[in-house]
Amino acid sequence: MVILNRNDMELLLTMDEIINALEEGFREVKEGRSFVPVRFRLEVKEFEGEFLYMPAYLSGLKQSGTKIVSVFPKNPLIGKPTIYATYLLNDPATGELLAILEGATLTGLRTGGTSGLATRYLAREDSKTLGIIGTGFQAFYQVRAIQAVRPIETIWAYDIDSKRLKEFCEKVSPLGNIYPVSHPHEVVRQSDVLVTSTTSKTPVFSGRDLKSGTHINAIGAFRPDMREVDEETILRSKIVVDTFEGCLSEAGDLLIPMAEGKLKRESIYGDLGDLVTGKKRGRESQEEITLFKSVGFAMEDVVVAHRAYKKALQENKGQRIE
């Protein structure tokens, strides 16, 4: 069995490899060669926390595994992170445990890679300016992934936490010209590709500020009561989701306007699998505004974990235990 820690995960895979693995995974799902149950929650009331279990089995690719995420909001009071994550990769033919992977980095890589894949199909090919609203843990992976599919030269960034924004800009500076700004509209008005990666419950920018031809990756809001994009953005955009099942049960960006009667299910153009398999076209004009809404999907974890495991074997990386 192989153990892959955070550093192993960062060094093993390129973003191109991750995006290609995800493209293969979305094809498997769309063509019916997968079983991905809704994630299971185990509440721990005594300590005000919960465990999330996210299993997946891809029959065509012969890949199987489970991500276990714990969320304990009181942990910072004792100097520990709120969230821990671990991935267990199994051989679906025997049940053998093949690898244990550090799950937070895996989540960052696969979420970034999924945005990269959506950007490949939905952003203008000449997109050179990237905007980031919310510069926490996930934002760096978003930059790496989008730069893998578009010629991004300039990055504009905003965060309500000035310290976090400064740290992000320092980390990203080797990847391009980075401009921190004091208001979200400064980011939006500049962006060819815009990423929102916040935990906001209310819209973080005005859709009136979007220029024609913008592509948006809205990845932060993952509960029905969370919302990063406003009604104006929803109504102006061609909307693509990672999965209908996930977004129509968890994505407040869509569920809130649907509840208000301002968005219909039929108005959602398609899912990422539709684009990957060619069932629907991605961007169809230079002027249209496109929106990719993502809440995460267990298939994304297993294909990236399996790719990392196979490469670790090839390059003799990670820790091996009996």
- 182 shares its domain with 253: yes
- 77 shares its domain with 159: no
CATH classification of the domain holding 315: 3.30.1780.10
Enumerate residues 6+ apart whose C-beta is below 8 A from 238.
122, 269, 284, 288, 289, 290, 291
Find out whether 252 and 226 touch, Cβ atoms under 8 Å: yes
Mean pLDDT of the chain: 95
Cα separation, 220 vs 253, whole angstroms? 10
- 35 shares its domain with 151: no
Find out whether 311 and 21 touch, Cβ atoms under 8 Å: no
- pTM given for the model: 0.94
Backbone phi and psi for residue 93, each to the nearest 5 degrees, phi listed first: -80, -30
The domain tally of the chain equals 2
What are the C-alpha distances in Å from 91 to residues 44, 164, 178, 194, 306? 30, 40, 43, 38, 10
Does residue 111 fall inside a structural domain? no
- 177 shares its domain with 286: yes
Cα separation, 233 vs 207, whole angstroms? 4
Q: Which residue has the tokens 């991905």?
A: 36
State percent of the chain over pLDDT 70. 100
- 160 shares its domain with 249: yes
Range of the domain at 97: 2-106+299-320
What value does the mean pLDDT take over residues 213-242?
95
Does residue 32 fall inside a structural domain? yes
- 177 shares its domain with 235: yes
Does residue 97 fall inside a structural domain? yes
Find out whether 238 and 213 touch, Cβ atoms under 8 Å: no
What are the C-alpha distances in Å from 207 to residues 61, 200, 217, 256? 40, 16, 14, 16
Residue 187 binned pLDDT confidence (cut-offs 50, 70, 90): very high
- 53 shares its domain with 78: yes
Does residue 115 fall inside a structural domain? no
Q: Is the dihedral of CA 194, 224, 281, 118 positive or negative?
A: positive
- 281 shares its domain with 151: yes
pLDDT at position 39 is: 83
Q: Which of 30, 67, 238, 317 is catalytic?
A: 67
Does residue 116 fall inside a structural domain? no
What value does the mean pLDDT take over residues 173-193?
96
For residue 238, pLDDT over 90 is answered with: yes
* Structure tokens belonging to residue 117: 């894949």
State percent of the chain over pLDDT 90. 92
For residue 131, pLDDT over 90 is answered with: yes
Spell 237-274 as b/e; 16+ CB within 10 A means b.
bbbbbbbeebbbebbbbbbbbbeeeebeeeebbbbbbb
For residue 7, pLDDT over 90 is answered with: yes
Q: Environment class of residue 175 by beta-carbon count within 10 Å: exposed (0-12), middle (13-18) or buried (19+)?
A: middle
What value does the mean pLDDT take over residues 118-125?
98
- 235 shares its domain with 308: no
Does residue 119 fall inside a structural domain? no
pLDDT at position 38 is: 80
What value does the mean pLDDT take over residues 110-128?
98
pLDDT at position 161 is: 93
The reply to whether 264 belongs to the active site is no
How does pLDDT run across 304-318, given as a tens digit for each residue?
A: 999 999 999 999 999
Cα separation, 145 vs 109, whole angstroms? 8
Does residue 117 fall inside a structural domain? no
How does pLDDT run across 51-91, given as a tens digit for each residue?
A: 999 999 999 999 999 999 998 889 989 998 888 999 999 99
- 287 shares its domain with 139: yes
Does residue 112 fall inside a structural domain? no
- 153 shares its domain with 38: no
